A and B are shown apart, each in its own frame.
Chain A
């Protein structure tokens, strides 16, 4: 009997934690999402009336921000993938004895606060930073164009902030590839590009899938980048939820939006994993 019980006992703290900090809040959130204001009550007073219309109202009112969240998150994910893949490849195959050093560099941004790093981007892209004057000098942007408070700045901030979440799983996946399979591919008449397409990329797909998910999911729900680097025109759904909760004190709409976001991410991710066919991979 003791043998059977031990694993469950070991799982108990985990279950307890998840129950208190995940299950209970989710149930609470679900209850809140169908509430309506108490007639004649104070601001922030709601009662349960099972009004599912809340969901439709919340979505219709904020569909622009929803769309923007997913577009920004997808662009940031693709950019992060484009930056991370060569980086992870170089660390795995070309860095020799400096491998660990480069990995530390990838993780190093986590040593300072997420918020501070995002504020730093505001300066980098600001009028006093070096980016804007440089781009103006070489004529890529006009003298009247600014980069702060634009969609560009928000997407850049997101790409930067979530880059390590892309790089690390990609690295883990590419590092596991036996370099001799790449030699074998060259030996069997595949040039560099074909070898990448037919051997390297398929073998690194688990990393690509994990990296894109770890980037896309937090990016879609992010509000810090849009709040610091964006403008009212670049508001994402995270910003709406934040303001509904803390500023307008409209709990039911915030809760309904949260659930809708969760469902949308879940559906997208499911389709993506099916398409990527990870179950086919080793």
Chain B
């Protein structure tokens, strides 16, 4: 079955997509709607199925089960060249035998567009590399190749632009610069961008909406702030930034808050940030939300007392502390170096406090190491 879907426009809708390779399910019953005009990121560790999802959208793989629609048009089985979708490939995949100009003109020529010269020059100006039109890809730096790969895709004004780890091969500084530039270009051309990455910072910098993927499924979807402040699972809490997860029990209600017992100390958690299903839960607090104070200093909000500073690392913008709590757990605390107060010292007896609104609650049966960059098992292997 093949028909022309090139004029299809609208939201991209994935419906109950599964992709199996033998016994392995790369993507497992995934449903997703990507609104037209958005900058959407698929974020997850390697092997989570994000690239497979992208390849199915591009038409390079066919789903085992499920359907893909672009607006009203079913594109599940159409060939890549019949879809109004273009891809910026991970290693750019520029044509080494063609000049930069011809690389960019490739899609236009295949579609029989009239004014190839004007279109190519316009997009070369957009990526600020008009002087490279006559060169071959091998004569360009990584950053330049990246821009040409982008230009080669957006010159076709696709309904959907797919970016497969497009900045992975660039060094950190260039990557940050390209992130800002990509976001600007997306606004400028008004296309729908679907960005696949394992770099949470990259996803948060650029995307309006992030879908966090794990083991072939979407773990949680939302704006960067949503995902960061109100993660629903330990995987999201650990994969996006870092989290302190403390085992506790819900003991009561207090208006819009839950009263929670953490090893004998009472704290309060907003109900709208609780994803616990019964009384057993994990309280989650981001390290930069904690404040440290000496035992005799009065503090308000949620307080955990009986801490002892185990480790101090000064890293410029902040100082990072490891604080050992009476129940043996070490909590991570990032304090901004903005108040001129001398840092605390190793061995100091301290309280930890934070505003209750910054607390989230996860189910009590979560694996608290899920999504951490280094899990205890990884350490054992070394």
Q: Is the CB of B136 within 8 A of A184?
A: no
B222 at the interface (CB under 8 A from A): no
Q: List 18 A-B contacts (CB under 8 A).
A: A180-B89, A181-B94, A181-B96, A183-B60, A183-B80, A183-B87, A183-B89, A184-B87, A185-B95, A187-B86, A188-B106, A188-B110, A188-B156, A190-B81, A191-B79, A202-B97, A203-B97, A280-B97
Q: For residue B164, which residue of chain A has the nearest CB?
A: A180
Q: How many angstroms from the CA of A185 to the CA of B96 in the assembled complex? A: 12
User: A178 in the interface, Cβ–Cβ < 8 Å?
Assistant: yes
Closest residue of chain B to A184 (Cβ to Cβ) is: B93
Cα–Cα distance between A194 and B112 once the two chains are bound (Å): 13
Tell me the minimal C-beta distance from A199 to chain B in angstroms: 6
Query: Cβ of A44 < 8 Å from any Cβ of B?
Result: no
Complex interface bits, A190-206 against B, C-beta within 8 A gives 1, otherwise 0: 11001000110011000
The answer, among B96, B97, B152, for a CB contact under 8 Å with A188, is B152
Q: How large is the interface on A (under 10, 10 to 19, 20 to 34, 35 or more residues)?
A: 20 to 34
CB distance from A172 to the nearest CB of B (A): 16
A185, B138: Cβ atoms closer than 8 Å: no
Give every chain B residue within 8 A of A280 (Cβ-Cβ).
Answer: 97
**Chain A, Cβ-Cβ closest to B158:** A187
Are B97 and A190 touching (Cβ within 8 A)?
Answer: no
Chain B: CB-nearest residue to A282:
B96
- Chain B residue at minimum C-beta to C-beta distance from A204: B97
* Chain B residues whose C-beta falls within 8 Å of the C-beta of A203 in the assembled complex: 95-97
A105 interfacial by beta-carbon distance below 8 Å:
no
A189 touches B81 (CB 8 A): yes
Contact of B136 among A189, A194, A282 (CB under 8 A): A282
In angstroms, how far is the closest chain B Cβ from the Cβ of A131? 40
> Interface residues of A: mostly helix, strand, loop or mixed?
helix
Q: Which of A120-155 contact B (CB under 8 A)?
A: none
Assembled-state Cα–Cα distance A282/B86 (Å): 26
Report the minimum CB–CB distance from A121 to chain B (whole Å). 38
Number of A-B contacts (CB under 8 A): 69
Q: How far is the CA of A181 from the CA of B96 in the complex (A)?
A: 9
With a cutoff of 8 Å between Cβ atoms, the chain B residues found around residue A199 in the complex are 95, 97
Complex alpha-carbon distance, A188 and B156, angstroms:
8
User: Digit string of B66-110 for contact with A (CB within 8 Å is 1, else 0)?
Assistant: 000000000000011100011101110111110000000011001
- CB of A194 within 8 A of CB of B96, answer no
Within residues 107 to 128 of chain B, which ones have a CB less than 8 A from any CB in chain A? 107, 110-111
**8 further interface pairs, Cβ-Cβ under 8 Å (given A183-B80, A203-B95):** A178-B91, A180-B93, A187-B87, A187-B153, A188-B153, A189-B111, A203-B96, A203-B97
Q: Is B207 an interface residue (CB 8 A)?
A: no
- B159 interface residue, CB < 8 Å from A? no
Interface residues in chain B, defined as those with a beta carbon under 8 Å from any beta carbon in chain A: 6, 58-60, 79-81, 85-87, 89-91, 93-97, 106-107, 110-111, 136, 138, 152-153, 156
Q: Which residues of B contact A281 (CB under 8 A)?
A: 97
Given contacts A180-B89, A282-B136, A282-B138, contact A187 B80 (CB under 8 A): yes
Do residues A282 and B89 form an inter-chain contact, with CB atoms below 8 A?
no
Which of A181, A185, A202, A282 neighbours the largest number of chain B CB atoms within 10 Å of its CB?
A181
- Give the 5 A-B residue pairs with the shortest CB-CB distance, closest first: A188-B107, A189-B110, A180-B93, A184-B93, A186-B80
**Docked-complex contact A194 and B110, CB < 8 angstroms:** yes
In the complex, residue of chain B having the shortest beta-carbon distance to the beta carbon of A280: B97
Residues of B within 8 A of A178 (CB): 91, 93
Taking CB as reference atom, which chain B residue is nearest A190? B110
Contact assessment for A187 and B96 in the assembled complex, using a CB-CB cutoff below 8 Å = no
Closest to A177 in B: B96
- Pairwise interchain contact A191-B96, C-beta atoms closer than 8 A: no
Closest approach, in angstroms, between the C-beta of A61 and any C-beta of chain B?
A: 46
With a cutoff of 8 Å between Cβ atoms, the chain B residues found around residue A187 in the complex are 58-60, 80-81, 85-87, 153
Is B110 a contact of A184 with CB atoms below 8 Å?
no
Cβ B89 vs Cβ A184 within 8 A: yes
CA distance A188 to B80 in the complex (A): 8
Residue of B nearest to A201 (CB): B97
A178, closest chain B residue (CB): B93
Alpha-carbon distance between A185 and B87 when the two chains are bound, in angstroms = 10
Closest residue on chain A to residue B152 by CB atoms: A188
Given contacts A180-B91, A191-B79, A282-B136, contact A186 B60 (CB under 8 A): yes
Residues of chain B with a CB closer than 8 A to A191's CB: 79, 81
Question: In the complex, what residue of chain B is closest to A189 when comparing beta carbons?
Answer: B110
Set B90, B94, B138, B156: member contacting A189, Cβ < 8 A = B156
Q: How far is it, in angstroms, between the C-alpha of A198 and the C-alpha of B110 when the chains are bound?
A: 10
> In the complex the two chains form, what is the Cα distance from A280 to B102 in whole Å?
14
